[in-house]
Amino acid sequence: MRDLVILGSTGSIGVQALEIAEANHGLFRVIAITSAGSNPTLVIEQAKKFKVSVVGVVKNADLIRQALPGVNVIDGENASTEIAAITCDVVLNGITGSIGLGPTLAALKVGNRVALANKESLVAGGDLVMSMAKKDQLIPVDSEHSALWQALMGSAKKDIEKLVLTASGGPFRDRSDLSTVTLAEALDHPTWSMGPVVTINSATLMNKGLEIIEAHYLFDTPYQQIEAVIHPQSVVHSMVTFIDGSTIAQASPPNMKGPIAFAINYPDRVRAATPAIDWSKSHTWSFAPIDNERFPAIELARRCGELGGGLPAIFNAANEEAVDAFIKGKLGFTAIVEVVEEVVQKLGAKSSGALRDLKDVSTLEQDARRTAIDVITRL
């Protein structure tokens, strides 16, 4: 039985991971969970159901302590980082945003395996994370990177021609004019059910840009060998093309339980983690190139990744501020990427040095957030 720590237990990834654990009592024991605490009722329910000994929250700690006598409730901004360092078999990092970097580093430092759904850990601090991660200590949860991980098994690096990430295209893949996009439209994803930030990142295709940077670090692959294509059905999660012209694709229904289960139980698979594709029925899968003029986020991300240093951290922090402003009605949809590009241009000269530690990342992110807020205010 594996001892499991879940960071972000009330989010989409965390909730599905707990469902997997509940359905497989003999495989997993949940020993600690963390949440922002904005949904204390759910946190309390989860803690009681799984009899966890430690709960971490940012807010509503007193309410949760009162409801969970005997449970160690850790509160504050560093609760997830502290809990990620608890000795266990697997830490599932399902936190959204660059605040997930600290917990990722803390878990790796003490030798815990990390099932990583927090792509921002690698975007903001990829060099730090990969320098600390030992072989098979960092397992991807994002469906695209889980697919690549599986497709690459047993293959020599010299045989890889390119990695191909698939993108649903979001709700606007066929919409030419994006100037009037509303928040409700951006949150209406045609395939996936995700949190608001990830859903909006999918609508701008910023998510795919972040995933290209993530793939570069996870698989030690040059950016020119990583591309993305539109695949509306979201059944083929990603592909690897080899030098002999063959391509291996990983396909499964468009849900996250398969990738989550594989990551937390690696190298073994979890029986019936997700329904299999019914091959007795007809299927039509389509693929198309991405229109970089309508969706400039991907090329901007690629450029930041290639320049390296702290630029990906600046890129990500600026995007988080811009998305937050869009959600609050302070910014138009198309202005999200415009804000990020302006911040990248303004701060690019500050980002050339190597990132030595988490403090370096935090400093760059603070500069990026301040600059982004200034740009948003002006717009």
Average pLDDT over residues 284-311: 94
CA pair distance 102, 58, nearest whole angstrom: 15
The answer, yes or no, to whether residue 379 has pLDDT greater than 90, is: no
Average pLDDT over residues 308-331: 95
Average pLDDT over residues 132-152: 97
**What local confidence, expressed as pLDDT, does residue 349 receive?**
74
Which CATH architecture describes the domain 308-379?
Orthogonal Bundle (1.10)
Average pLDDT over residues 163-184: 93
Tell me the percentage of the chain whose pLDDT exceeds 70: 99
Would you place residue 195 in the very low, low, confident or very high pLDDT band (cuts 50, 70, 90)? Answer: confident
The answer, yes or no, to whether residue 283 has pLDDT greater than 90, is: yes
The answer, yes or no, to whether residue 162 has pLDDT greater than 80, is: yes
**What local confidence, expressed as pLDDT, does residue 355 receive?**
82
More confident residue, 190 or 271: 271
CA pair distance 344, 346, nearest whole angstrom: 6
More confident residue, 43 or 25: 43
Tell me the pLDDT of the chain averaged across its residues: 95
Domain boundaries in the chain?
Answer: 2-140, 143-253+282-299, 308-379
2-140: CATH, from 3.30.460.10, 3.40.50.300, 1.10.260.40, 3.40.50.720: 3.40.50.720
**What local confidence, expressed as pLDDT, does residue 244 receive?**
98
Average pLDDT over residues 56-78: 95
Per-residue model confidence as pLDDT tens digits over 217-254: 999 999 999 999 999 999 999 999 999 999 999 999 99
The answer, yes or no, to whether residue 332 has pLDDT greater than 90, is: yes
Per-residue model confidence as pLDDT tens digits over 82-124: 999 999 999 999 999 999 999 999 999 999 999 999 999 999 9
Residue 117: closest CA among 261, 228, 235, 232: 261
Would you place residue 39 in the very low, low, confident or very high pLDDT band (cuts 50, 70, 90)? Answer: very high
**What local confidence, expressed as pLDDT, does residue 252 receive?**
95
Per-residue model confidence as pLDDT tens digits over 3-19: 999 999 999 999 999 99
Would you place residue 191 in the very low, low, confident or very high pLDDT band (cuts 50, 70, 90)? Answer: confident
The answer, yes or no, to whether residue 297 has pLDDT greater than 80, is: yes
pTM for this prediction: 0.94
Per-residue model confidence as pLDDT tens digits over 147-156: 999 999 999 9
Average pLDDT over residues 349-363: 83
**Partners of 33 in beta bridges:** 6, 55
Average pLDDT over residues 173-185: 92
**What local confidence, expressed as pLDDT, does residue 25 receive?**
87
Backbone angles phi, psi at 228, to 5 degrees: -135, 145
